[in-house]
Amino acid sequence: MTTGPALLLATAVSASIATIVADLKECFVPARIFRPTAMAAIILLAAARPAATSGSYRLFITAGLAASLVGDVFMMLPKKKFAAGLVAFFVAHCFYATAFLRAGTARVEITTALPFLLCAFFMMRTLYPRLGALKAPVTLYILAMTAMAVLAAQRYITAGGAPAFSAFAGAMIFIASDVILSVNRFLKKIPLAQLYILGTYFTAQILFALSV
C-alpha cells in the first residue's frame, strides 16, 4: 500500500475509534465530527487505492460509501431521521450489490443464497411485530442487504482472491452490525451497544474500500 492510501487508512481507523469513544462517553459534538471524518477518509481510500478491480467496481463501491455517509448524517441529527437514514443505507446496499454483480457474479447458486435468505426470514419474523410504521422500509432494507451479501459471497466463491474476500468479509460484518443495531433498537437494549454497532460498521466499510 502506497503512502497516500496508507495515511487515509490510518485516518479512517483513528477517526472510527474516536467516534466510538466519543459516542460511549456521550460527547455527541465530537462524535458528529469524527463519524463523517471517518467515512470521508474511507471514501477517499477507495478512490485513491491502486485498483485491483475494474473502474466501474470502484465507482459503485465509492457511491455506496457516499450513500452511507448520507445515512450517517441522518442518524447523527439531534432528532434522528431513522427512516431517511434507512433509505440512504438501502441505496448504499444497492450500489454495493451492483458493484459485486458487475465484477463477475454471473450466476447465484441456491446453496450460496439459502443461508442468507434464512437469516433474512428469521430477522423479519423476529422484528416484524415490533416495527410499527417501519415495516415496509425495514423489509426493503433487509432484502437489499441480503442481495448485497449473496452477491458478495457468490463473487468470492466464484472468483476468489483478496479483493473478493475483502468484500465478502465486509458484507458479513455489515450484517452483524445491522443485527446488533436491530436487536438494540427493537428488541432489547445491549450494554455498550454503540461499541459493537459502530465497531463492526466502520470495519465493514473499510473492508469494502480495501476491496477496490
Q: Residue 186 carries which DSSP code?
A: I
List the single range of 12-26, 77-91, 114-128 with lowest mean pLDDT: 77-91
Residue 111: pLDDT band with limits 50, 70, 90: very high
Is pLDDT at 106 greater than 70 in this prediction? no
The model's pLDDT over 6-60, given as tens digits with 9 standing for 90+, comes to 999 999 999 999 999 999 999 989 999 999 999 999 999 999 988 666 688 999 9
| pLDDT (0 to 100) of residue 198 | 97
DSSP state of 51: P
pLDDT tens sequence across 47-70 = 998 866 668 899 999 999 999 999
**Residue among 42, 146, 159, 134 at smallest CA distance from 94:** 146
Note the pLDDT of residue 102.
85
Q: Would you say residue 1 has pLDDT above 70?
A: no
How far, in Å, CA of 161 to CA of 164, rounded? 6
Please state, in angstroms and as integers, the Cα–Cα distance from residue 50 to each residue in 152, 157, 164, 196, following that order.
Answer: 21, 24, 15, 31
Per-residue pLDDT of 168-208, as tens digits, reads: 999 999 999 999 999 999 999 999 999 999 999 999 999 99
The whole-number pLDDT of residue 81 equals 86
pLDDT of residue 28: 86
Mean pLDDT across 143-153: 96
Give residues with Cβ within 8 angstroms of 69, minimum separation 6. Answer: 36, 39, 40, 43
Give Cα separations from 72 to 35, 50, 136, 201 (angstroms): 8, 27, 21, 11
Determine contact, residues 39/68, Cβ cutoff 8 Å.
Answer: yes
